[in-house]
Amino acid sequence: MFWLKTRIIEGKGSLEALSKEVQGYESVLILASKSMERHGFLKEAEDYIKETGAEVFSIPGVPAEPSVETIEEFLPKVREEFQPDLLVALGGGSVIDTTKALKVFYDAPELSFEEIAFIDRFSRPKPLPKLKTPIIAIPSTSGAGSEVSAAAVLKREGIKYNIVSPEIAPEVAILDPRLPGTMPREVARNSGLDVLVHGIEAYTTKVANPFSDAMAIKAIKTVFGRLPRSVEGDPEARAEVHYAATMAGIAFLNARLGLAHAMSHKAAWIGPHGLLNAIIIPYVMEFNAGKSEYARKRYAEIARELGLKGAQDLIGAVRELNEKLGIPKLSDLVDGETFMTRLDEMAEKAYRDGLIAFNPVEAKPEEIKELYLKAFYGK
């Protein structure tokens, strides 16, 4: 089965579509990142909305880590003062995730966080009821895929929880390549490699289908062909990678992700998500290819799409791209002592991550530990 709830509007200057999309709404709340405020895009969005006669409220400077604490801070004002009938998320994956979670608690105040959020694949969260306030997501980075996905990651007291439901998938995504044009080089690189890992993992899960495959392959090809130039700041390449990020998001919305994401989530304290994925993916691919014929076959299919021969060539090409873009090893990001004291806990938690069930091989905690060590030493 393949589904997509989100209507997608793309093109340079497409932020303007807001003036049409907010027609009929009375009160619009924008959650925005600091950088979108600084670059003038928040003001531009507010102006498009004001033109329609709707009231507009903004919460600028939404913190980079979505958390329950942040949402609890916003909620009273949102409920009593703003009372929005439309939410707009303007920023990176974190801003979009914060908006999704805000929608849950705004639309369904009777729900408790414990009932609906979950930590791992052994938890049994309650399904969300119908929620009414629509979301327009306008991503400013090209990676997370949150503008089409049905998931939000949310911290409480430092622990990461997930909320997953079609109810929180945005109604509309606006992909205006001017916004990711503002990304610093490193963000463009890390989030672009996250797109690659989304594509590769979504293509190789146990639930991939021909439609998610099409999205995954196009995203993978785009990253291989265009990411180096996008990192250099080429606007055309940035735009292509921006669209590829959403395609990869559509792929994993349907086909889910695998072991590299399970591992990078639990290592989030070490560095940026996309960077961790880039470091980890070659080892996960070696592991999957070594143990599963299905994985080997799927990697070989991707390889052929790229004009390469087999699974090993693809792994080689991923390593080469990493090298070209200056991707370090884990030991360059974290000191050995700290890493080793947390290693067992990370491996155990990654094993309990929901994505393990979709990976072509169900890795054991011991095997995951070994993969972390390989990524640490870079061999």
| Binding-residue pattern over the window 31 to 50 for Fe ion, x denoting contact by CB under 5 A | --------------------
Nearest approach, Cβ of 145 to Fe ion (angstroms)? Answer: 7
Residue 56: both structure tokens together:
């507009």
Nearest approach, Cβ of 149 to Fe ion (angstroms)? Answer: 10
SS3 for 156-212 is ECCEEEEEECHHHCCCEEEECCCCHHHCCHHHHHHHHHHHHHHHHHHHHCCCCCHHH
CB of 21 or CB of 194, closer to Fe ion: 194
CB of 18 or CB of 241, closer to Fe ion: 241
CA 198 to chain centre: 8
CB of 133 or CB of 246, closer to Fe ion: 246
Question: Which 8-state DSSP code applies to residue 15?
Answer: G
Nearest approach, Cβ of 98 to Fe ion (angstroms)? Answer: 17
Q: Give the number of C-alpha atoms closer than 13 A to the C-alpha of residue 37, restricted to the C-beta side.
A: 12
78 contacts 106 by C-beta, under 8 angstroms: yes
Does 353 contact Fe ion by CB under 5 A?
A: no
CA trace torsion 133, 134, 140, 146 (10° rounding):
90
3-state secondary structure at position 13: coil
Nearest approach, Cβ of 45 to Fe ion (angstroms)? Answer: 26
CB of 22 or CB of 257, closer to Fe ion: 257
3-state secondary structure at position 329: coil
137 contacts 116 by C-beta, under 8 angstroms: no
Interface residues for Fe ion in 5-24 (CB under 5 A)?
A: none
CB of 202 or CB of 300, closer to Fe ion: 202
Nearest approach, Cβ of 146 to Fe ion (angstroms)? Answer: 10
Distance, CA of 93 to CA of 96 (rounded, Å): 5
State residue 280 phi and psi, 5-degree precision. -80, -35
Nearest approach, Cβ of 99 to Fe ion (angstroms)? Answer: 18
Nearest approach, Cβ of 219 to Fe ion (angstroms)? Answer: 12
CB of 62 or CB of 251, closer to Fe ion: 251
Nearest approach, Cβ of 109 to Fe ion (angstroms)? Answer: 31
CB of 145 or CB of 177, closer to Fe ion: 145
Q: Which residues in 172-210 are b (16+ Cβ under 10 Å) and which e? A: bbbbbbbbbbbbeeebbbbbbbbbbbbbbbbbbbeebee
How large is the angle between the packed helices 210-232 and 185-204, nearest 10 degrees?
A: 160
Nearest approach, Cβ of 200 to Fe ion (angstroms)? Answer: 11
Nearest approach, Cβ of 369 to Fe ion (angstroms)? Answer: 22
Best CA proximity match to 147, nearest among 20, 44, 7: 7
| Binding-residue pattern over the window 177 to 196 for Fe ion, x denoting contact by CB under 5 A | -----------------x--
Binding-residue total with Fe ion (CB under 5 A): 1
CB of 37 or CB of 194, closer to Fe ion: 194
3-state secondary structure at position 376: helix
> Shortest Cβ contact with Fe ion: which residue?
194
Cross-strand partners of 251: none
Best CA proximity match to 87, nearest among 70, 104, 73, 72: 104
Interface residues for Fe ion in 275-304 (CB under 5 A)?
A: none
Instruction: Give the number of other CB atoms < 10 A from CB of residue 158.
Output: 8
| Binding-residue pattern over the window 111 to 140 for Fe ion, x denoting contact by CB under 5 A | ------------------------------
CB of 22 or CB of 208, closer to Fe ion: 208
CB of 35 or CB of 146, closer to Fe ion: 146
| Binding-residue pattern over the window 206 to 245 for Fe ion, x denoting contact by CB under 5 A | ----------------------------------------
Distance, CA of 119 to CA of 160 (rounded, Å): 7
Q: Using CB under 5 A, list all residues that contact Fe ion.
A: 194
